[in-house]
Homo-oligomer: A and B are copies of this chain.
């Protein structure tokens, strides 16, 4: 004899399984005396409904599948944390699965979710939209997180890199910096590309007369240090470095100081992301509330499942400027032209 079933409860309470089901699901049409007998039987037997049977019958699992890439760092942990918060608030469970580079295995992972989840949250920054579209069961509602490109027909959630870069460029100009260089992230990365493109545009728009230099980088601390070295040895009169992420900014910061530069007086340094280390080092950067993105993704998905929200379109999450000590405090009266 395994776990007690609804039948055992019915027998014990001398009622039919239908009544037990009704009582358990809080339907009104059960005499309160009957309900009491049933509840007593439930606790006596330690009965717990079987979720598999339930989802089979209802074709509703009250669970959300989360598909993440293989290498999950800070970003994914944070994101899942936000999802978890919102999901448990809404009474949903989270089912985790990671998407390997191997598209064969990815398909497997997605299959394994069929029947256990009502919808999907997909974090796939490096999967091509087309192959993603192909792998996703089209019957399953899904929200895409930080997916490259807008081409997909699914609702999505993204960091508003453009707005973030804009705010940072504005801050640098307002603080009096004039010769700004952007250290970009790796080519393959969507965020890196967006940030670099947005930098060029922002400079063009906010300070068309100033040069908008862009150097190559790789999102690593060493990459940032290398860029700094190049700046130190070069003859361009750089007075601010805007790195595409915090780790590069930190590498930069150290290398510049080691090279005898005063930060922020001689040269300003800024990053993007606001990782814990950035706050610790008092680095000026753009804070990205990743957990909020995760929470919002769950919220949108659940709304779709409940038939409430329209759910279409890509929603942008605006980063927030954290002006700290690696840039000069904003001058009271600025000569910078506003857009």
Contact = CB atoms under 8 A, between A and B. Distances in A.
A40 B280 CA distance: 58
Interface stretch (A11-19, A90-98, A170-178, A303-311): A90-98
A115 B77 contact: no
Contacts of A280: 277
A51 B276 contact: no
Contacts of A30: none
Copies in the complex: 2
A173 B88 CA distance: 48
B81 A2 contact: no
Contact of A93 (B52, B59, B112): B112
Contact of A94 (B95, B114, B137): B95
Interface string A80-113: 1100100010000111111010000000010111
Q: What is the interface residue range for chain A against chain B?
A: 35 or more
Contacts of A88: 97-98, 100, 109
Given A56-B53, A77-B81, A277-B276, A137 B48 contact: yes
Contact of A95 (B53, B63, B72): B63
Contacts of A93: 95-97, 112-113, 116
A96 B97 contact: no
Contacts of A55: 52
Contacts of A114: 3, 48-51
Given A2-B139, A63-B116, A139-B2, A111 B48 contact: yes
A23 interface: no
A54 interface: yes
A84 B277 CA distance: 26
A183 to B, nearest CB: 20
Given A2-B139, A94-B95, A96-B96, A52 B48 contact: no
A122 interface: no
A51 B113 contact: yes
A139 B3 CA distance: 8
A21 to B, nearest CB: 15
Given A49-B115, A84-B96, 20 more contacts: A2-B59, A3-B114, A48-B114, A48-B137, A49-B111, A49-B114, A51-B112, A51-B115, A52-B52, A53-B56, A54-B115, A84-B98, A88-B100, A93-B97, A93-B112, A93-B113, A96-B96, A276-B276, A276-B277, A277-B277
